Amino acid sequence: MRSPTPFLSALPSHPRPGPGCTDMASQTRYVDRVIPCISMHDFEDRIDEITDQLIQAAENVGFFTLIGHGISKEHIDSMFAISKTFFDLPDDVKATVPWNPNNVGWEKNSQIRPSTGQPDSKESYQLQFGENMNDLWVKYDDLPGFRTASLDFMNRVQQVSECLMLCFARGLGFPERFFIECHGISRPNSQTTMRLLHYFALPEVSDGKVYHRAGAHADWDFLTLLFQRDGQDGLEICPGREVVTEFGIGDGWTKLKARTGEIVCNIGDLLMSWSDDRFKSTFHRVKAPCKPGDYFGDRYSIAYFNQPCKDSLIQGPSKKYPMVTGAQFTDTAMKRNFAALQEKLKTAAAA
């Protein structure tokens, strides 16, 4: 998902990089934090325990990792291999499935974060279940079996997502299947998206350019499930937001190791709003490598964004925010992101 960074003034600030660095945020204050690791094994028998752990993670950090989730490391590796076969295609073939505002399709070097004002050094292919994908699946002749394998993996991740939704509904006092029904992937107005990501290899010796893999941002979805590959590090988080309409003022970042079998999850702006700001949507980024020991090679990840159906009604138990539909929430987030980017570019041009 193209995640927004809606308000610029409260973004953590960072000095310019030193010689040889490839990221404006290279000189960073790091903070050790415990990122909860939650096992999903024996889910039905342990649902109360798992719910308590998820609620604590959502309230205090906004990020957590899952193990024992039922998707094997071998299946994850297989999906990464399939993803790579897509990104290895010539650009003119990938361009036959171009990104569009329904949040589907392929893009390259085109996502500009308001936090950086520059394109992320990456490409991605965004997939959905329903009618938004009409004519946007890569052709079978170009990549046999891609659609079938991708949908199989998406359905597996959806099953994990629905377990988490059930727990969050219990924690907020909604009926158990409330969030599951609001995110029904079989409905024609489903917006849930799986994003295959390829961050380009970057020079280990400075070429005088500044690179960004994914600038600081908060996701606007309900919940994100992220798959990474062993050793392909770079993901960092910065907690500190108290209300969904503002950015936090923290400037201490924490690194998360990339491990293939784990799923890294984070609360999105939607769930923060839906919980009346009880659960925290946390800033995060994929930091470009800067020093020896960082990972400079091609980096692959897979992000699964749980987004509500367009007609789902969104309002927290305490009604802190006005009721909106899923379509309205997404539209507002995209407009807010665009406005923030324009302000960033205007400020940069005046400097």
d(CA 298, CA 234): 12
Model confidence pLDDT, tens digit, residues 52-94? 999 999 999 999 999 999 999 999 999 999 999 999 999 999 9
CATH of the domain at 212: 2.60.120.330
Domain count, the chain: 1
Alpha helix stretches (DSSP H) within the chain: 47-60, 73-87, 91-94, 146-172, 178-182, 269-274, 326-350
338 neighbors 111 (Cβ within 8 angstroms): no
Within-domain flag for 22: no
If one compares 118 and 262, the residue with the highest pLDDT of the two is 262
Task: Give residue 345's pLDDT.
Answer: 58
Classify the phi-psi angles of 112: left when phi > 0, otherwise alpha if psi is within -120 to 50, otherwise beta: beta
Within-domain flag for 2: no
Residue 25 clears pLDDT 50, i.e. is over it: no
Which positions ≥6 away from 46 have C-beta within 8 Å? Answer: none
Within-domain flag for 71: yes
The pTM of this model reads: 0.89
Within-domain flag for 9: no
Q: What percentage of residues in the chain have a pLDDT greater than 70?
A: 86
pLDDT confidence bin for 334, thresholds 50/70/90: confident
Within-domain flag for 264: yes
Residue tagged 């899923």 (tokens): 326
Mean pLDDT value across residues 292-320: 95
Full residue range of the structural domain in which residue 65 is found: 29-350
Residue 248 clears pLDDT 60, i.e. is over it: no
Within-domain flag for 17: no
C-alpha of 333 from chain center: 14
Task: Give residue 333's pLDDT.
Answer: 76
Within-domain flag for 13: no
Mean predicted lDDT score pLDDT of the chain? 87
Within-domain flag for 225: yes
